Structure formats: structure tokens, C-alpha cells
Structure 1
């Protein structure tokens, strides 16, 4: 059985991490690029936030669409993106407002748990071109001993990375982390079952920093 960290240690880590925040989602952006071809025509980032991933995708794609339901964050993404970048940002609902595709690449980072899960996967699949790649970095509810072990391993590592990234100083919360959030409701095992029904052959893995990853290639 997993022994949880003492309450005082957890509280101290929480206080330290609040003073030295860093973007757990951006941590996986380079990993996402490694799952993708060197070049592709079109890409869609769902829940694009301030556009960091969209701008990375635009280094490989002819055209990238970023969508988000928050008008303030879309405005910020547009301001941060150089005019010559092959990127377009649209205020849109992830289920009903996806710009016409299909897309060779679809990415979705820390957004899927805000959506009706099965319905969202169906929408992603419908907009993905044959041979295209879907990559999701998501959040799941802590449930099993394995989940607690990963959380225990991530907590001190999270503090160490926050300290190094901020060079030991207190830091403001990264802009891409300021959107409203809500806790994940589905456990990883629930997610695995739902994904395998909707996306046969998808690869899922638990990850550090309270994330899981999903990669699916449409035949």
C-alpha cells in the first residue's frame, strides 16, 4: 500500500510550488512534436490558450488553427504571434465550432477533461484526416496506488524544476496557466476504456506532473 507524504510536507510543497510556478503543459510540447511528422499541411490545437503550442506547430505546418472558448486568451494569443506565422486563432467551441478540416494533426492539451469525453473524441476523430495524428495531454482523477506513487514522485520533482526554471526567485504565474480550471473527474482506467471504444489502437500512458498522454493515428 502507498504511504502518502505527511500532511506538513505536502503543505510545504504546495506553498513552495505556488511561489515557484511553471507550466506543466508546456513541459510536454516538445514531446508532442516528437510524435508528429517533420512536415504536415494542416494542424488544429484545441484549447490553444495563449498559443505556445500553435506557434511550435507552425514551424512544421503550412497552416495551423488554434481555437479556445476564452476571448481574452484568444486575444492574447493573437498579440503574441508574429504576423508572418502560419497560424490563425479563433474563438470557438471545441465541440461545435471547429473550423472546417480535415487536419493532418490535432492536438489537445489539458482541455479534454473540460469537455464531454466521448463526444469530444468523436469530434476529434471526425476532423482528423486519413493518416493523421491525434495527440492529447490530459488530466485524470487520482484513484489507484500507481496514481498516488506518480503523484508522490512528481511533488518534489515539481518543486525542483520550479526552483530551477525561476532561478530560485518567486515568480508570477505563467500566462498560459491563468485560464479557469476544474479537477478531472475520470480516472485513468475510465479514460482507457472510453478511448479504446472510440479510438481503437490508441496508445495511452500515465505521466509525471499529473498528466496522461494519448496518441492515435487514423488509418
Structure 2
């Protein structure tokens, strides 16, 4: 939200410290709509506390969650029922990713921590023919469209926080506790580099300071 005045940013920080909600989880249902209702295998890169991996388990016969943080991966194991077909591995992406192939690969708010093109190549190479890659990412704001979406997101962000917390203070969601760093690529740069690796990839700017990428392996 770099396009907003510092005073506004400080006020928003105070507001969301008391009423946090998970911007990434907001996209989970949208992610599930991007691939068939039943698939054999799914890989969630940067799985965090496993929220999305557990949702994927309702659609996939087996799910593999990978995260570089041992503590949050251990928390994911604690929160996941042994009845679900989900396994978790502590590994760095992209080098430490399991071989696959996978029918679905997801990556939410993690790609900006990784070497961009190399990560996309690793996802592509692990995707089964006919499989779907779904990314929710973070870009650096630069263009007028970026700033317009940022400003539009502010009142909607407050509404979502109030709805999620019903006006009551709430603990910070577990999936939001991992380390974060600012994105260094702009959306146009992301589009250009993504389509060089994934021809035909569909990318869109989104509200709540995110973009989405969907690519199907033909």
C-alpha cells in the first residue's frame, strides 16, 4: 500500500492489529474453482499452517504441503486430521520441491520470496499434462492501475475485517504469522516474465493488494 499517505497507513495498521483477517485465505475458494472437482494429486507451495492444503484435500486424493518454516509446518501437522490425505515437508522452494507430477499446484503470497522464473519453471516441470497451476501473488505498486486498486481496497478491507471479526478483537490468524518481505517486481514485469515461462498464462490484478495467475499444462 505504498501509494497511501503514511498517516493512513498507520491508522490502518492500528485497526488491523485489533481486527486482523487473512487476505490470502480470502482467495482460497476462488482457487478451488480453477480446477476440476476431483483430481488425483495437489502440491501447495508455501503451505504455512495448512489452511489451503486441508481444503485441497476435499478435492484431491493426496495433497503435499511444502514450507521452508519448520515451526509453521509443525503447526500445520497439528491442525490437520490424520484422516485427511495430506503430508507436509519442510523444504526450500524451488530446489527442494518434490518431483511430482501433480494435477494441481498452488502458491499463495510466496512467489515474491523466490527466484521468480526459476520457481515458475519448477512448477511447470512438476505439473502433469492437463494440470493447473494457480498462484496468488504480491507485486510492487507502480502504475496508475496499481494505485487505483490500492485505494479502492482500503474501504473494502475495513469492511472485511469488521465482518470477519464482528467488531470484536481477534487473534492474528496463524497463517499470517510467517515472515514477510516486500515484493520487488511490478505487475507488468511479472506478466512479461511469467508468459516467457508459461505461454498463455492468465494474469489479473486483484483487490486487497494481490494478483492472480492461472496456467494449464496442455
Partner of 2:51: 52
Aligned length: 216
CA deviation map 1:135-174 (0-9, x unaligned):
0000000101111110101111111111111110122211
Partner of 2:61: 62
Distance in 1 between residues matched to 2:12 and 2:76, nearest whole Å: 31
Q: Secondary structure at the match of 1:55?
A: helix
Change in Cα spacing, 1:100 to 1:145, as seen in structure 2 (3 Å) is same
Tell me the SS of whatever aligns to 2:133: strand
Aligned position for 1:23: 22
Partner in structure 2 of residue 87 of structure 1: 86
Equivalent position SS for 1:41: strand
Partner-residue secondary structure (3-state), 1:62: strand
Question: 1:56-76 deviations in whole A, cap 9, x for unaligned?
Answer: 000011100000000001100
- 2:157 equivalent in structure 1: 158
Distance 1:209 1:164 in 2: 15
Q: Tell me the equivalent position of 2:217.
A: 218
Taking structure 2 as the reference length, the TM-score comes to 0.96
For the 8 Å contact 1:132–1:217, the answer to whether it is kept is yes
Q: Are the equivalent residues in 2 in contact too, given 1:20–1:162 (CA < 8 A)?
A: yes
TM-score, structure 1 as length reference: 0.96
Query: 2: CA distance between counterparts of 1:185 and 1:6?
Result: 20
Tell me, in whole angstroms, the C-alpha distance in 1 between the residues paired with 2:141 and 2:5. 17
> Hey, what's the Cα distance between the residues in 2 that align with 1:14 and 1:150?
18
1:19 positional shift: 1.7
The answer to whether residue 206 in structure 2 is matched with residue 204 in structure 1 is no
Distance in 2 separating the partners of 1:80 and 1:164: 24
Q: CA-to-partner distance for each residue in 1:29-63, whole Å, 9 max, x for gaps?
A: 00000001010000000000000100000001110
Distance 1:195 1:97 in 2: 21
Q: How far apart, in 2, do the equivalents of 1:10 and 1:40 lie?
A: 42
Q: Secondary structure at the match of 2:205?
A: strand
Partner residue of 1:137? 136
- Within 2, Cα distance between the matches of 1:5 and 1:74? 34
RMSD: 1.1
Secondary structure at 2:53's aligned position in 1?
helix
Report if aligned partners of 1:107, 1:134 keep a CA contact under 8 Å in 2.
Answer: yes
C-alpha deviation, 1:213, in angstroms: 0.1
